[in-house]
């Protein structure tokens, strides 16, 4: 079976769509099927997706015609899309050619698809509009797409220290709001080993600012540029400071307590859902050093809260979302066959 994944990502728009689509690609490939990636960002896609995936460059994010032309020559069995510009019209154009699975984080577009995926905490609370036959619905964290390395660590037993020693700062692949320096300042004076992760899309000028900030504070801060062992560091951290992005679900599954900061509009839904479930310490967008210091101090001194957050996270995310989503997508073709 041949699956085409339509996704974009990179320094300007973030890496989240590529990373979670990669989780699906890994699962499809593990089952012996073929995967191609159709993208307007071929270089970041080539960096994220497995070597076994074919990368197909597109000239437009929002115009479906170049993609439809590619489908005519590729002739896949099904298409999976994870890109905001894939609106209702785009979906209808693709589905007229081939079965379609759509991942969408919200209800911004009416959905025309055979399978609809929203793996977010809030997915079941939204009101969706569908065009044509109602798709198979894959809603909630049962279907959140996590890369295989994260799933492997979820299956292990995370360490728990009554007195925390390690913290992690991970503000996304490009840190588009440049929050990392503020977060590092919040650790000034705390007796913690802090891994401050700088993603692959962060401009060099921001990297230098992060490094100079780390040198200026009285804390053991190590600045790491896109480390190969990031998931292990997430797993071993006593708590993490993160954007309210797809990284949230990795941390929940790993049982790592979170201080969450939404930095763009589409992260507010995740932040609200975390608050509603008491699944993280959620700060307001634009939170400053003092708000962050208060949150760090609370985790540093309250092991009961960290245990509670660990348990809630692992209950919410079991790491099998890619398996479930892959099965639903492939069943469309198998049932038609």
| Mean pLDDT of all residues in 28-41 | 97
Give the model's pLDDT for residue 266.
Answer: 86
CATH architecture assigned to 149-316: 3-Layer(aba) Sandwich (3.40)
* 8 Å CB contact between 67 and 6: yes
Residue boundaries of the structural domains of the chain: 2-146+319-336, 149-316
* pLDDT tens per residue across span 315-325: 999 999 999 99
SS (H, E, C) 195-207: EEEECCCCCHHHH
Q: What pLDDT digit, counting tens, does each position of 226-276 carry?
A: 999 999 999 999 999 999 998 999 999 999 999 999 999 989 999 999 999
265 Ramachandran zone, left/alpha/beta (phi>0; psi -120 to 50): alpha
* pLDDT over 70, % of the chain: 100
- Domains 2-146+319-336 and 149-316 in one fold: yes
Query: What CA–CA distance (Å, rounded) separates 37 from 7?
Result: 7
**CATH T-level topology, domain 2-146+319-336:** Rossmann fold (3.40.50)
63: tokens are: 């115009």
Angle at 55 (CA atoms; ends 51, 58), nearest 5 degrees? 165
Does the pLDDT value for residue 337 go beyond 70? no
Which pLDDT does position 296 carry in this prediction? 98
pLDDT in tens, 143-163: 999 999 999 999 888 789 999
Give per-residue burial for 79-109: e unless 16+ CB within 10 Å, then b: bbbbbbebbbebbbbbbeebbbbbbbbeeeb
Single out the residue of 23, 69, 74, 30 nearest to residue 49, CA to CA: 23
CA 319/CA 249 separation, integer angstroms: 9
Q: What is the pLDDT at residue 27?
A: 96
Average pLDDT value over all residues in the chain: 95
The tens digit of pLDDT for each residue in 283-295 reads 999 999 999 999 9
The answer, as to whether pTM is greater than 0.85, is yes
- What does the pLDDT average to over 101-108? 96
Q: CB-side exposure of 85: number of CA atoms within 13 Å?
A: 13
Count of CA atoms in the C-beta half-sphere (13 A) of 88: 10
């Amino acid at each position: 079976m041949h699956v085409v994944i339509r996704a974009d990502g990179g320094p300007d728009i973030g890496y989240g769509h590529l990373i979670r689509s990669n989780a699906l690609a890994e699962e499809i490939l593990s089952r012996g099927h073929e995967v191609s990636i159709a993208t307007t960002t071929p270089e970041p896609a080539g960096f994220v997706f497995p070597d076994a995936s074919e990368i197909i460059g597109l000239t437009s994010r929002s115009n479906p015609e170049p993609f439809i032309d590619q489908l005519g020559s590729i002739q896949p069995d099904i298409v999976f899309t994870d890109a905001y510009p894939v609106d209702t019209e785009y979906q209808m154009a693709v589905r007229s050619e081939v079965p379609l699975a759509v991942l969408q984080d919200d209800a911004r577009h009416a959905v025309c698809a055979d399978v609809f995926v929203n793996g977010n905490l809030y997915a079941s609370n939204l009101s969706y509009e569908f065009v044509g036959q109602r798709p198979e619905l894959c809603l909630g964290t049962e279907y959140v797409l996590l890369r295989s390395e994260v799933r492997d660590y979820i299956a292990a037993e995370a360490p728990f220290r009554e007195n925390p020693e390690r913290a992690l700062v991970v503000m996304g692949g490009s840190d588009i709001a440049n929050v990392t320096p503020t977060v590092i300042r919040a650790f000034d004076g705390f007796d913690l080993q802090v891994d401050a992760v700088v993603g692959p899309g962060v401009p060099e000028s921001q990297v230098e600012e992060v490094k100079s900030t780390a040198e200026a504070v009285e804390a053991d801060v190590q600045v790491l540029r896109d480390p190969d062992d990031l998931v292990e560091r997430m797993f071993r951290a006593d708590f993490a400071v993160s954007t309210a992005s797809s990284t949230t679900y990795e941390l929940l599954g790993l049982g790592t307590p979170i201080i969450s900061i939404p930095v763009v509009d589409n992260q507010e839904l995740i932040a609200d859902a975390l608050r509603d479930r008491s699944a993280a310490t959620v700060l307001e967008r634009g939170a400053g050093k003092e708000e962050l210091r208060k949150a760090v101090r609370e985790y540093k001194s309250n092991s009961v809260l960290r245990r509670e957050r660990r348990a809630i996270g692992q209950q919410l995310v079991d790491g099998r979302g890619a398996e479930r989503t892959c099965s639903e997508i492939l069943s469309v073709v198998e049932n038609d066959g």
